[in-house]
Amino acid sequence: MKKILLTILQYVIFFGLGALLIWWQYGKLTPGDKSEIMIAFGQVRDRLWLLIPVLIIGFLSHLFRALRWKLLLEPLKLRPSTANITFAVLIGYLVNLLVPRMGEVARCTILAKYEREPVDKIVGTIVAERTFDILCLVLVTVIAVLTQTGTGLQYLQAQIAHIDINGSKIAAIVIGGILFLVLLVLVYRKTKNTKFGQFLSGIGYGILSIKFMHKKGQFLLYSALIWVCYLALVVIGFKAIDATEHLGWVPAISVLVFGSLGMIVTPGGIGAYPPAVQLVLVNLYAVKASYALAFGWISWMAQTAVVLVLGVLSLILLPLYNIKPHGQDTVDKG
């Protein structure tokens, strides 16, 4: 009961924050801003064909993520079918829209159920994957800084300079991380012969799966393709309205970085993604604030629509696909 209440509380807090951000943004809009936003949405209606490449590229980004995850599972002698692992990824993103931070749990439980694999090792690979994603975001952020010129570069440098990071804070983070690892080791030693200890061991094996992976080059290729797809979605989004259609790949990198941070703040970025994108477009590329906010909402809605469509389709197709064994995949698992 306590766990359910905590989950509900988390749900209320995250979505409440999203609703608060939307209310705050709307309250700042003038009648002229609202009129311009409606003009931007009207331009989108005339370019709905852009949804076709958005849906295709959105699916490819999830497919590359599924294939990359599959590589992480191979060193653990886990060989799920490509279809099932893709369904699991898509459903995981759908769940994240509805219940904050529960998408990873859904991915693991779906794969464990339909592939009859141990959930502990699968959880470990999720941790490894997310850690690598953070490193990729850091790399993309560095690229965003290096590729900006003129006022854009000055603005980014100024924002980085305002981040309050000192030696004591870094030391506290490092010490806290070390203490956490020591605590895990102590807990594992005390419980290694129990089910909980075996679960911790499985997570450890999953995290180390990157180290033992044979196809590291392929793993890096899939990672690059995932981020290229994300960038392509932003570039296509630029073409949806007149105010941003002149922007290309370099601005897309900055939008992707700030938009990704917005996605972390609230479930699916609701309420947080649009103003994060607006901040970049206004300060780096002189897009009018109302149109920049409109683009943020258009981009967010397109990405959310892709997740909803593909996630719901996966929920329907997953049980149908698993009605009976599938030849080659079954042989591989042996």
Assigned domain for 138 exists:
yes
Task: Tally DSSP H helices, then E strands, for the chain.
Answer: 15, 0
Assigned domain for 25 exists:
no
pLDDT tens, 227-260? 999 999 999 999 999 999 999 898 999 899 888 8
Assigned domain for 147 exists:
yes
| pLDDT(269) > 90 | no
Full domain range(s) for residue 274: 38-324
pLDDT tens, 111-157? 888 888 777 778 777 877 887 888 788 888 888 877 765 555 565 55
Assigned domain for 146 exists:
yes
> pTM of the prediction?
0.76
* Low-confidence winner among 15-19, 266-270, 288-292 (lowest mean pLDDT): 15-19
Q: Which long-range contacts (CB under 8 A, 24 or more apart) does 277-281 make?
A: 280/251, 280/254, 280/255, 281/244, 281/251, 281/255
Assigned domain for 115 exists:
yes
**How many structural domains does the chain have?**
1
Element of type H or E holding 19: helix 2-28
Assigned domain for 1 exists:
no
| pLDDT(18) > 70 | no
